[in-house]
Amino acid sequence: MADSSALSSLLHLITAPSLLGPMVVAVPFGLLFGAVPGIGGRFGLVLAIPFMFGMDPTAGAVFLVSMHSVVHTGGSLPSILLGIPGGGPDAATVVDGYPMAQKGEAGRAIGASLMSSAVGGVIGAVALAVALPIVWPLVLSFGPSETFLLAVLGITFMAVVSGLDLLKGLILGCLGLMLSFVGVDPQQSVPRYTFNQLFLFDGIGVMAAIPAIFAIPEMVELAVSRSSVARKVIGESTIGFRQMAVGAGDVFTHWWLTVRASLIGVFIGLVPGLGGEVAAWVSYGHAVQTSPTPERFGKGAVEGVIAPDSANNSKEGGALLPTLFFGIPGSASMVFLLGALAALGLQPGPQLVITHLDLVWTLVWALVLANILGSVMLAALGRWMSLLVHVNGGRIVPFVLVSIVTGAVIATGSIGNLGVLFVLGALGTLLKRCRWPRAPFAIGLVLGSVTERAYHQAWALWGGTFLLRPGAIVLLLLIAASLVFYVLKPVQADTAD
Amino acid sequence: MSSNLSKPTPRTDARIATALLLVFLVMTGMAYGYPPVTRSFPLLVGAAGILLSAVECVRLWRRVRLAPHVAGESQRDRLVMFGWVAAALGAMSVFGLVTGGALFAGVFLKVRERESWFFSLLGATGVVVVLHVILERVFGVTLYSGLLWAGLW
């Protein structure tokens, strides 16, 4: 069943203009969002949301996944040319990419980066495809008790890995769940926390709440920093096609490193909340440790570009697995993707895989094709796209804000949600300022209704003993293990935000 | 972008925890007014929220008492910028998404970013092109036209 579904999804993707078209449009936008420091994948998703409405859910999902999967491919451009990472996960590319550009090897570095991004992205998608039949029986065995505990596990996971303080993460997870109760109770059709405001009867719009809590604070910080992201210029003559071909060849010369780094990325992507920075830096560290000449790193070693870029793109495939299969976002960007998919009428989780397996396969193929297409496009357009890195951060802010408001109003169909944007935007700004992890809040809000339904179903079927079912016990052990991990781990920086 | 924030004062941290405790208390209290099935899950989550935020409050306020008093960094820039966010929301709700959005983008670029008139007008025009031409005309999405328009007609 899986084989025929996989093949038919590929055929459908490459033959249907309604799917291929959005992918071809999404890829340059993803590259662009990655290339302009300060935008990145999350804001790319926010900016794309207004254009999703009226789209077929599959086409919309293909657009979002294709766009998001190539963000780091674009992000390598400012990292190499200017030493300014397009986003956090691109920072590791700077260490050797920028020295290569200074040595006059910018083209080689970009070629290596593009090829390793493409290969890493394909390996990530293959890993997702291989995982599908393995995870399938697990997904089928999921009942309401497991679904309920999965959401609890997701919030706990995010709280554990997202920063210095577990309690803060758990509190915000609970707050997200509480706010998900706003609206008409699906069990008995009783309005809860609506204060007689009609727009609240439909609940707090996810596409108003998530940009408010994540994107508005980032825009405030970007505007306050008044940063001109790029003032340095690298000569265009160093980005030649011949040099790029040499760099692309380097990836195959170091093929075993590429594969290892990609697998590290997949694994890190699988663990909810670890994020792109971890994947890139762990791969970079692995490249240094396993090199016979580690002293070359930091001075322009091509392996220092290959390893983080392979991992950056492969981790997207890994991160899609918990996001699509279990509704637990693999990274902060995946929280946005989760919300955007929900806005398209697709609720990620076991039900999505059971009822829309063809969609999952379509997204796997979109991941493969978008990564290849992204590298080809950037190779062709890189010289011109490098000009984008000179955009001042403040110039981006009004357009992102207009896009956030437009997306929220269209998605929720109510102007009342502008109040939600304002209140949660203020809360998000305060939380960011005080380094409270915001990802658990988003998970609580997105998964709240599913969790409550699963809780009621589990209680109706098994009463209080639903926690003693085999699957539930496994999940309870995982929750306990993640808490033990938190207690034992060394203090780490905020990663999930 | 997220890593260059200076450390906030422990007092701000404690105030957030206290505010969240109050939110949980109010929402849990309100839940008691709902029928049993409707309130069961909010009560469960609310109780967990109260417990966790109460523990956090005790921990953070104790830290405030023990820590030497540190003057907080001025938040004026952030408040002013948040005023701009409010202006965006206000303009787009009063004048509609297209007109309000274009107006906001133009004024923001001219006043806050001190861009040239040409660039500011170009930015505003860009918003009109994307929202009106692409979204409304090409994609056929009906965009909110604003309280002012609704009041006039």
Q: Encode pLDDT of A238-252 as tens digits.
A: 567 788 888 889 989
Residues of B in contact with A190 (CB under 8 A): 34-35, 38
Predicted pLDDT of residue B1: 40
- Please, are residues A491 and A269 in contact by the beta-carbon 8 Å criterion? no
Predicted pLDDT of residue A434: 85
- Residue A318 CA to residue A372 CA, distance in Å, equals 17
Name, in order, each residue with C-beta under 8 angstroms of A26's C-beta and a sequence gap of 6 or more.
A48, A62, A63, A64, A66, A67, A370
Residue B4, pLDDT > 50, answer: no
Strands A183-184, A191-192: parallel, antiparallel or unpaired by DSSP? antiparallel
CB-nearest partner of A452 from B16, B41, B115: B41
Place of tokens 């902060």: A332
CB-nearest partner of B45 from A174, A225, A401: A174
For every residue of A312-324, DSSP letters joined together read HHHHHHHHHHIII
In this prediction, residues B128-135 reach a mean pLDDT of 87
- Other CB atoms within a 10 A radius of the CB of residue B67 amount to 11
In chain A, the N- to C-terminal Cα span, in Å, equals: 38
What tens digit of pLDDT does each residue of A328-368 get?
A: 776 667 777 777 777 777 777 777 777 888 888 888 888 88
Q: How far is CA A377 from CA A17, A205, A381, A415, in A?
A: 19, 36, 6, 39
**Nearest C-alpha of chain B: how many angstroms from A94?**
16
Predicted pLDDT of residue A41: 62
More confidently predicted of B4 and A84? A84
Token readout for A339 is 């919300």
Burial class (CB in 10 A: 0-12, 13-18, 19+), A17: exposed
Q: Which of A72-81, A126-135, A268-277, A418-427 has the highest mean pLDDT?
A: A418-427
Place of tokens 């980005």: A239
Q: What is the DSSP letter of A202?
A: G
Q: Across the interface, do A455 and B144 touch by the CB < 8 Å criterion?
A: no
- Residue B45 CA to residue B24 CA, distance in Å, equals 9
Sign of the dihedral defined by the CA atoms of residues A167, A172, A173, A175, in that order:
positive
Q: Across the interface, do B81 and A220 touch by the CB < 8 Å criterion?
A: yes
Residue numbers of A between 65 and 94 with CB closer than 8 Å to B: 88
Chain A residue closest in CA terms to B125: A399
What tens digit of pLDDT does each residue of B67-121 get?
A: 766 665 567 888 888 899 999 999 999 999 999 999 999 999 999 988 899 999 9
Predicted pLDDT of residue B83: 92
Predicted pLDDT of residue A490: 56
Residues of A in contact with B41 (CB under 8 A): 181, 451-452, 455-456
Predicted pLDDT of residue A357: 80
- Please, are residues A440 and A172 in contact by the beta-carbon 8 Å criterion? yes
Residue A231, pLDDT > 50, answer: no
Nearest to A440 by CA among A221, A212, A213: A213
- Other CB atoms within a 10 A radius of the CB of residue A26 amount to 26
In this prediction, residues A181-199 reach a mean pLDDT of 88
**Nearest C-alpha of chain A: how many angstroms from B81?**
6
Q: Across the interface, do A494 and B2 touch by the CB < 8 Å criterion?
A: yes
Would you place residue B131 in the very low, low, confident or very high pLDDT band (cuts 50, 70, 90)? confident
- Residue B58 CA to residue B100 CA, distance in Å, equals 45
Beta bridge partners of A184: A191
Of the ranges A283-297, A328-342, B5-19, which one carries the lowest mean pLDDT score? A328-342
What tens digit of pLDDT does each residue of A88-135 get?
A: 667 778 788 888 887 878 888 888 988 898 888 888 888 888 887 777
At residue A191, φ and ψ (nearest 5 deg) are -70, 135
Q: Would you kindly state where each structural domain of chain A is located, as residue ranges?
A: 2-229+238-496
Of the ranges A271-275, A484-488, B98-102, which one carries the lowest mean pLDDT score? A271-275
Burial class (CB in 10 A: 0-12, 13-18, 19+), A313: buried
Predicted pLDDT of residue B92: 93
Q: How many CB pairs under 8 A join A and B?
A: 180
More confidently predicted of A56 and A254? A254
Q: Does B41 reach chain A within 8 Å, measured CB to CB?
A: yes
- Residue A401 CA to residue A42 CA, distance in Å, equals 13
For A459-495, b where at least 16 C-beta lie within 10 A, e where not — what string? beebeeebeebebbeebeebbeebeeeeeeeeeeebb
**Nearest C-alpha of chain A: how many angstroms from B98?**
9
CB-nearest partner of A178 from B5, B45, B82: B45
Predicted pLDDT of residue A299: 79
More confidently predicted of A211 and A234? A211
Q: Across the interface, do B52 and A167 touch by the CB < 8 Å criterion?
A: yes
Q: How many residues does chain B have?
A: 153
Predicted pLDDT of residue A17: 84
H or E, element range at A497: none
Chain B residue closest in CA terms to A47: B130
Residue A229, pLDDT > 60, answer: no
Residue A208, pLDDT > 60, answer: yes
SS3 A191: strand
Beta bridge partners of A191: A184
Chain A residue closest in CA terms to B146: A415
What tens digit of pLDDT does each residue of A69-87 get?
A: 888 788 787 778 766 666 6
- Residue A250 CA to residue A107 CA, distance in Å, equals 12
Share of chain A above pLDDT 90, in %: 7
Residues of B in contact with A188 (CB under 8 A): 35, 37-38
Residue A255, pLDDT > 50, answer: yes
In this prediction, residues B38-46 reach a mean pLDDT of 92
Q: How many residues does chain A have?
A: 497
Helices of type H across A226-302: 241-253, 255-270, 275-290
Residue A389, pLDDT > 50, answer: yes
- Residue A199 CA to residue A205 CA, distance in Å, equals 9
More confidently predicted of B39 and B65? B39
Predicted pLDDT of residue A236: 47
Which amino acid, residue A433?
R
